[in-house]
Amino acid sequence: MANYTFSTPYVLEGPSGGHRLFYFAKLRKGITIVKSGSTYSQIRYPVESDLEDYDEVYRGGYQHTVDETTKAALIAGGVGVTESNFVAQ
């Protein structure tokens, strides 16, 4: 079975600072993907103590190693994960 590097979805937030030049720059913020039972969900601002309640947690902004079965489940989960979020190892 092949493994894949999974990068979570992200959003661009801005402005990235107070000076007027920062209004043109945006920060890339990762979205955390969690699984509870058989349901996947997105969490924008996770609280560390709440993450222990989920069956699976993929922290936003990090890369995770997953297998083919997990890859297919994440894509089918309906949380904005597509084939472009994965790179074969």
For residue range 4-53, list pLDDT tens digits in order: 999 999 999 988 888 988 888 999 999 999 999 999 999 999 999 999 99
Give, in degrees to the nearest 5, the angle at Cα 22 between 11 and 15: 35
**CB half-sphere exposure, 70, CA atoms < 13 A:** 19
CA 56 to chain centre: 12
Stated pTM of the model: 0.87
pLDDT tens figures, 46-76 = 999 999 999 999 999 999 999 999 999 999 9
62 in helix, strand or coil? coil
CB atoms within 10 A of CB 67: 12
